[in-house]
Chain A
């Protein structure tokens, strides 16, 4: 049965990550980075990898990993969401899932120890059920094509590129690879447009295995993102509750007004439910359950909108302060809204759920669509 709680080891991991983030990634530093040149906090990333071994959590021990699993990865993501930390961990976890599905032991080992960073080269908005294939394969193999809006692709990273009917590894440093930074809505998760021009590649998997690896990786992304969304939403709730308790207007605490209280009570209910949903998705992912795609679709159909609401309530109930650049609420708002599109919108995931649990749309809709195309 699905285990929706946190084990003692998971709580210990959470404490370590939180302590490290509190010391090295306070929001003022993250905010200050927005005006700098380096999008990711590479010093923070190095600490997370070297001190806590976060990239090895889901890698088996015999390959140099920690032999933990995706439940633990999800706990780390909760904390990273809570801190809107600018590190490429989600992308690394997605790449790990792809490599696990391919059985590629060498790259997994390098990823686990932090020898190299890896990212799946697909647009961040890609839903698990419909990965586009914009890249073509020429003999060599050499890859050509454009992939817009890729997250977590560090300058020196290894790119895992779905192309043709295979999955290929490409060195981002090769001259045939051009990565152009995007001004992204969420500046704490930078995106890049990637143009491949005859970039030399190594085949990692082909045929059905490659297809399965990509969809498994995207499913993992959708499932794990939910934990980041829960961490983010919980921060927004906690911070807003603390603020309205202290803030006084009309001679009383703003948090004593019923209109404010009820809004926060509703948000608490939603965050409570989102936590159960995200935990379920992480647990099913870790267990390799055939229902993991269903749990992931549920997670994104539910948790994405909750995180957005939490961030919007946070801005609103902070009043004028919440609308300023100097308050961190906007970091969370931008991350939440961007996350609501990452790995497919809630609507995409509801459509996927409808298929998975046999709640088909009306036939008339299909007819209307066909008719529209004809005319």
Chain B
């Protein structure tokens, strides 16, 4: 059905660049790129795309990178790009997509996710934040945690309980919450790294217009599942070259510092290299499956391996550094503008990696999901449904 080819898209980018100076106004450039359908080419026309096959996106990105065009700083808005946008596209109204997707893609509006609560982590469906209908609005009260980028965000995707009387999965509704609305209070939540990448968010009498509801009342859990599936792919699924990511850091250290080498650590380094390369190829295969229109459940494998490997390799790096591994840069509380899993010192990376098997679904929950949804094993008997 699609007549899109790599050559045609390169031609469109070239034509676009003849009318727009990539060295000029950054926001203007990104808005124009969105309007030309060259933002995310697999999105529909009018919403930043051309309904092209997703595997052509790298062609477009490379063509813009060639001329040093500004990008939309995707890491700063990874929740918006990776999770909110696909959910809006699938479950949102046309008006919602038109209002939110353009500034989301350009990075003018950063998004965060108000899902987890102090008493609803892995058991997310047990969330208690309530939304009560009042005229054309919903009034939201509750507390959310582990909200990365809440301090930068303009919008949030929000899960709230709209019917406490029905079984827990059926009483939840999905909203978009304005983070500048009265009653929204964001407090830094300091992590074991010393940073406050995350936040606690207190919602007190926050009025959310019904026009900002995504999907039907009571169907928030189904809508959220789209978001969570996208989250798992987003976390581990970026394309990397060989030795891209954390294994590259430890391989470089090994090559540059022969005095640190020991026989046992050599085994560990090579083992890690093998596992990282296997995980990279599996992620690449997943992308090829998606591009060929046969998306499978492999995203869960990618996320599980990513967490395990980043923990193992960052731990190896600290040990390899020996005496230097005893030193940290500083424990000052920072408010990073974007999460950076490969940044700062080896000790920081080691500590930050502990979160990889917790955020976006713990590795334990993921294993259960794989066993039940991929392998088809029976659920454990549960008292909550």
- Could you tell me which A residues sit within 8 Å of B by CB distance? 2-5, 241, 244-245, 252-253, 255-258, 260-262, 264-266, 268-269, 272-277, 279-280, 298, 301-302, 350-351, 353-354, 357-365
What 13 new A-B contacts, CB under 8 Å, besides A256-B377, A361-B261, A364-B262? A2-B281, A4-B285, A253-B377, A255-B378, A262-B368, A262-B371, A265-B368, A265-B375, A269-B300, A273-B305, A276-B284, A359-B254, A359-B255
8 Å CB contacts to A: which residues of B177-201? Answer: none
Residues in A with CB closer than 8 Å to B298 are 272
> A272 near B282 (CB under 8 angstroms)?
yes
Chain A, residue nearest B283 (CB): A276
Q: Tell me the complex Cα distance, A359–B263, Å.
A: 12
> B370 near A245 (CB under 8 angstroms)?
no
Chain A, residue nearest B272 (CB): A359
Residues in A with CB closer than 8 Å to B333 are none
> A276 near B281 (CB under 8 angstroms)?
yes
Say yes or no: is B2 at the interface (Cβ < 8 Å to chain A): no
Residues in B with CB closer than 8 Å to A301 are 270, 274
Proximity bits, B266-289, A CB within 8 Å = 1, else 0:
110111011101110110110011
Chain A, residue nearest B263 (CB): A365
Residues in B with CB closer than 8 Å to A359 are 251, 254-255, 266, 269-270, 273
If A272-B298, A362-B258 touch, whether A4 touches B281 (CB-CB below 8 Å) is yes
Q: Tell me the complex Cα distance, A260–B377, Å.
A: 10
Instruction: Please report the number of residue pairs spanning A and B whose Cβ atoms sit closer than 8 angstroms.
Output: 137
> A276 near B282 (CB under 8 angstroms)?
yes
A79 to chain B, nearest CB (A): 19
Interface SS majority for chain A: helix
8 Å CB contacts to A: which residues of B296-311? Answer: 298, 300-301, 304-305
Q: Tell me the complex Cα distance, A255–B374, Å.
A: 13
A229 to chain B, nearest CB (A): 13
Residues in B with CB closer than 8 Å to A241 are 375-377
Chain A, residue nearest B308 (CB): A269
Chain B, residue nearest A357 (CB): B273
Q: Tell me the complex Cα distance, A264–B251, Å.
A: 31
> A273 near B274 (CB under 8 angstroms)?
no
If A269-B370, A350-B271 touch, whether A302 touches B375 (CB-CB below 8 Å) is no
A288 to chain B, nearest CB (A): 19
Say yes or no: is B3 at the interface (Cβ < 8 Å to chain A): no
Say yes or no: is B330 at the interface (Cβ < 8 Å to chain A): no
B residues contacting the other copy or chain, number (CB 8 A): 46
> B367 near A262 (CB under 8 angstroms)?
yes
B322 to chain A, nearest CB (A): 13
> A256 near B266 (CB under 8 angstroms)?
no
> B270 near A350 (CB under 8 angstroms)?
yes
If A262-B371, A354-B266, A357-B273 touch, whether A362 touches B285 (CB-CB below 8 Å) is no
Residues in B with CB closer than 8 Å to A350 are 267, 270-271, 274
**Which 5 pairs show the lowest CB-CB distances between chains A and B?**
A261-B371, A362-B261, A265-B367, A4-B285, A265-B370
Set B300, B304, B378: member contacting A256, Cβ < 8 A: B378
> B278 near A276 (CB under 8 angstroms)?
yes
Chain B, residue nearest A240 (CB): B375
Residues in A with CB closer than 8 Å to B367 are 261-262, 265-266
If A255-B377, A358-B255 touch, whether A353 touches B270 (CB-CB below 8 Å) is yes
Say yes or no: is B19 at the interface (Cβ < 8 Å to chain A): no
Residues in A with CB closer than 8 Å to B305 are 269, 273
Residues in A with CB closer than 8 Å to B377 are 241, 244-245, 253, 255-256, 260-261, 264
Residues in B with CB closer than 8 Å to A298 are 274, 277-278
Residues in A with CB closer than 8 Å to B255 are 358-360
Chain A, residue nearest B374 (CB): A268
